[in-house]
Amino acid sequence: MSASCIWACFLFAISAAAAATQDKTPDVTVTCLVSEECLLPCSFPLATKESVRWFRQDVVVFSFRRGDNGSQTASQVFAGRAAMFPQLISGGNATLMLKEVGLMDRGTYRCYVRTSKGEHNAKVVLKVEAPIQGLSLELYRLSGYEEMKCIVRNVFPPPRVTWATEPPTFEDLRPITRMLADKRGLYTADSRLRTLSGQPDLIYVCKVSTSYGGPTWTSSLREREIRGSEGRDLTIPCFAPPYLNNPTLHWSFTNGEDPAHILTYDSRSGDSVSTPPWDDHVELDGFRVPFGDGSLRLMDPDHAVHTGTYSCVFSVPYNTHTERTDVSIEGPTVNRSTSEAASYWWIVALAVAVLILGLVAMFAYLKLKGSAAKPPRRDPEEVTELNSVKDVGGESQMSEDGRFLAGGTNGQSGLS
């Protein structure tokens, strides 16, 4: 007997028990999921010559008549998707099975059975839902700001999205949320929130709930950057929010290619599974994970191999927390010393060049200053006149009234 048939028997038992305790068969409400099978229960008193018809809003959608192997007829809407279980009808079970249920199948159905003992009616209210299957939360760096984007897809009825931070802040969170419906009537919720400036270590929490009372899904994210040195052990931090109890921890790594699995740890069983070659380079303290500390110790890191993004994900049913850390492993110390020495010699060379330029400038300045201190050159005619006066001065005398007296060659002077 198929699983659907077994489930139909179970629903029939419940419907029959309810009918036995009440004079009137009560309406039955059934909730089914989009794209899955759905069973509409219907029970009636045992008899013979059974014929069954199913109505939706007083329109026949399926019928069954006892005869050669049982005759089943479905309306165009349910063609290939509706069926009954002939082997169960003789036992008073007229359950209808619908395949690949969609939102268009919602409504009130009526089961009408006519037998050798009379007629029987039963109503079934069918609700169709598309529950939350998961949600994604990512950080996007845009021009001038960063924003968190929380997306949940293929949900009905439309979900409700709320935001929070850990620890809580006094600033108002102003997300922008859009609801988009596809041709099937299923909704995609796209909610975006700008990160708060000046608070880089905040955890951003996105919560999604539905009106039908299903579980609330939560996803949270924190991002950070750290640096390490080649050959020196480095601890990559990862801490879960307090509302996650006994989570499963998953570590992965990427450097621009597809993510590589590092290890998985189950807090309930204590099992840890790591992937080569990471098992020789990582260490996890399993005793701390149930208390929310999933920090990973990276041993003997290599610049070329271990520089990249490390992600740790804490998960429990309906809740995940992700911490993404960009790790930069610097090259070996020798290379840094060589680089520092090269930088030092560049500084020395620059200082020597500046000193030489200073000395050249000072020498030029002193030379110009010495040239400015020498007397100016005289005109040749002026020099000739001065020399003539000097030569005559040895033979000339000045009178008392200031006139020059020329002496003769014999030492006698004459009066003018």
User: For the segment 132-148, what is each residue's pLDDT rounded down to a tens digit?
Assistant: 999 999 999 988 899 99
Query: Residue 179 pLDDT > 60, yes or no?
Result: yes
pLDDT, average across residues 205-215: 89
User: For the segment 25-63, what is each residue's pLDDT rounded down to a tens digit?
Assistant: 568 999 999 999 999 999 999 888 889 999 998 899 999
Identify which of 111, 114, 106 has the alpha carbon closest to the alpha carbon of residue 47. 114
Measured distance CA(188)–CA(135) in Å, rounded: 10
Q: Which pLDDT score is estimated for 104?
A: 93
Query: Residue 18 pLDDT > 60, yes or no?
Result: no
**Which carries the bigger pLDDT value, residue 390 or residue 96?**
96
In which band, very low, low, confident or very high, does the pLDDT at 6 lie, cut at 50, 70 and 90? very low
Residue with token string 């010559």: 49
Check: CB of residue 84 under 8 Å from CB of residue 96. Answer: yes
Query: Residue 196 pLDDT > 70, yes or no?
Result: yes
User: For the segment 333-365, what is each residue's pLDDT rounded down to a tens digit?
Assistant: 544 455 555 566 778 778 888 888 878 877 777
Q: Which pLDDT score is estimated for 377?
A: 55
Query: Residue 371 pLDDT > 80, yes or no?
Result: no
Measured distance CA(232)–CA(300) in Å, rounded: 6
Query: Residue 253 pLDDT > 60, yes or no?
Result: yes
Check: CB of residue 207 under 8 Å from CB of residue 134. Answer: no
Half-sphere exposure of 136 (CA within 13 A, CB side): 9
Q: Which pLDDT score is estimated for 103?
A: 95
Measured distance CA(240)–CA(292) in Å, rounded: 5
Measured distance CA(203)–CA(165) in Å, rounded: 5
Q: Structure tokens of 239?
A: 């801490």
Check: CB of residue 81 under 8 Å from CB of residue 40. Answer: no
Sorted by where each starts, the structural domains of the chain and their CATH numbers stand as 3-129 (2.60.40.10), 130-215 (2.60.40.10)
pTM: 0.68
Query: Residue 378 pLDDT > 60, yes or no?
Result: no
Query: Residue 22 pLDDT > 90, yes or no?
Result: no
Measured distance CA(104)–CA(35) in Å, rounded: 12
Measured distance CA(275)–CA(291) in Å, rounded: 24
Q: Which pLDDT score is estimated for 399?
A: 46
Question: In whole angstroms, what separates CA 115 from the centre of its chain?
Answer: 63
List, in order, residues 6 or more apart from 218 with CB less than 8 Å away: 205, 206, 207, 208, 243, 318, 319, 320
**Cα–Cα distances in angstroms (integers) from residue 396 to residues 385, 387, 388, 402, 416, in the given order:** 16, 14, 12, 12, 15
Query: Residue 397 pLDDT > 60, yes or no?
Result: no
Measured distance CA(201)–CA(166) in Å, rounded: 9
Q: What is the 3-state secondary structure (H, E, C) of 51-62?
A: EEEEEECCEEEE
Q: Which pLDDT score is estimated for 7?
A: 44
Least confident of 64-68, 236-240, 359-363: 64-68
Strand ranges (E), 104-168: 107-115, 118-129, 136-142, 145-155, 160-166
**Which carries the bigger pLDDT value, residue 257 or residue 55?**
55
| Torsion, CA 336, CA 340, CA 342, CA 347, rounded to 10 | 160
What are the φ and ψ backbone dihedral angles of 390, each rounded to 5 degrees? -65, -40
Neighbour count for residue 318 (Cβ, 10 Å):
15
Q: Which pLDDT score is estimated for 381?
A: 55
Half-sphere exposure of 242 (CA within 13 A, CB side): 3
- Backbone dihedral region of 231: left (phi > 0), alpha (psi from -120 to 50 degrees) or beta? left
What are the φ and ψ backbone dihedral angles of 146, each rounded to 5 degrees? -120, 150
